[in-house]
Structure 1
Amino acid sequence: MMNKKKYKLPLVSIITVVYNRANTIEQCIKSVAEQTYPNIEYIIIDGESNDGTVEIINNNMEHVDQFISEQDTGIYNAMNKGIKLSKGEYVLLLNSDDWYHKETVSLLIAAASKTTSCSIIHANALAIGETGKATYEIKPWLNDGIYTRGMPLRHETMLVPRKIYENYGIYNERYRILADYEFVIRLYKKNISFEHVDTALLYFRVNGISNTDIIKLQEERKLLFKTLFPFLDEESLDIMKAYQTRKHRFTLLAKNGRKSRLYSQSILYNIKSHFIRSAIILFCELLYINQRWINLILRK
Structure 2
Amino acid sequence: EETIRSVLMQGYPNLEYIVLDGCSTDNTSSILNRYRDEITHCVIEPDRGQSDALNKGFKLATGEILAWLNSDDCYLPETLYRVAIAFDLYKADMLAGGCQLREGFSRTIFRTHHTALPLGEVVPLPLDRLLDLDHCWQKGEFFYQPEVFWTRELWQRTGGKVDDKLFYSMDYELWVRMAYHNAQAIHIPDSITLFRLHEKQKTYGDEIPFLPELRSVCEYYQQKIHE
TM-score category of the 2 structures, normalised to the smaller one: 0.7 to 0.9
Pairwise CA distance, 1:188 = 1.2
Does the 8 Å contact 2:198/2:204 carry over to 1? no
Give a deviation string over 1:260-280, Cα, whole Å, max 9, x none.
xxxxxxxxxxxxxxxxxxxxx
| 3-state secondary structure, aligned to 1:159 | strand
Does the 8 Å contact 2:3/2:71 carry over to 1? yes
* Partner residue, 1:214: 208
Q: 2:64 aligns with which of 89, 95, 109?
A: 89
Pairwise CA distance, 1:116 = 3.0
| 3-state secondary structure, aligned to 2:217 | helix
Alpha carbons of 1:221 and 1:199: their partners in 2 closer, same or farther (altered >3 Å)? same
Q: Distance in 2 between matches of 1:213 and 1:80?
A: 28
Matched, 1:125 2:89: no
* Partner residue, 1:77: 52
| 3-state secondary structure, aligned to 2:208 | helix
Higher Cα Rg, which structure? 1
| 3-state secondary structure, aligned to 1:68 | strand
| Unmatched runs of 5 consecutive residues or more in structure 1 | 1-25, 232-288, 292-300
* Partner residue, 2:26: 51
CA RMSD of aligned residues (A): 2.1
Does the 8 Å contact 2:146/2:195 carry over to 1? no
* Partner residue, 1:165: 155
Matched, 1:146 2:137: no
Does the 8 Å contact 1:29/1:63 carry over to 2? no
Give a deviation string over 1:222-266, Cα, whole Å, max 9, x none.
3213312349xxxxxxxxxxxxxxxxxxxxxxxxxxxxxxxxxxx
Pairwise CA distance, 1:105 = 0.4
Give a deviation string over 1:40-84, Cα, whole Å, max 9, x none.
011100011111111111011132111111111111111111000
> Which structure has more helix as a fraction of its residues?
1
1:201 is aligned with what amino acid? I
Pairwise CA distance, 1:212 = 10
2:143 is aligned with what amino acid? L
* Partner residue, 1:202: 193
Q: Distance in 2 between matches of 1:221 and 1:129?
A: 24
* Partner residue, 1:225: 218
Q: Across the two proteins, how many residue pairs are aligned to each other? A: 206
Pairwise CA distance, 1:155 = 2.5
Q: Distance in 1 between matches of 2:148 and 2:43?
A: 23
Structure with higher RCO (Cα < 8 A, 6+ apart): 2
Pairwise CA distance, 1:213 = 6.7
Q: Distance in 2 between matches of 1:155 and 1:225?
A: 17
Q: Distance in 1 between matches of 2:168 and 2:206?
A: 12
Alpha carbons of 1:105 and 1:223: their partners in 2 closer, same or farther (altered >3 Å)? same
Q: 2:176 aligns with which of 185, 193, 196?
A: 185
> TM-score under structure 1 normalisation?
0.64
* Partner residue, 2:89: 114
Pairwise CA distance, 1:161 = 1.1
Q: Distance in 2 between matches of 1:44 and 1:94?
A: 9
Q: Distance in 2 between matches of 1:213 and 1:184?
A: 24
The runs of at least 4 aligned residues of structure 1 exceeding 3 Å deviation read 208-213
> TM-score under structure 2 normalisation?
0.83
Q: Distance in 1 between matches of 2:190 and 2:96?
A: 9
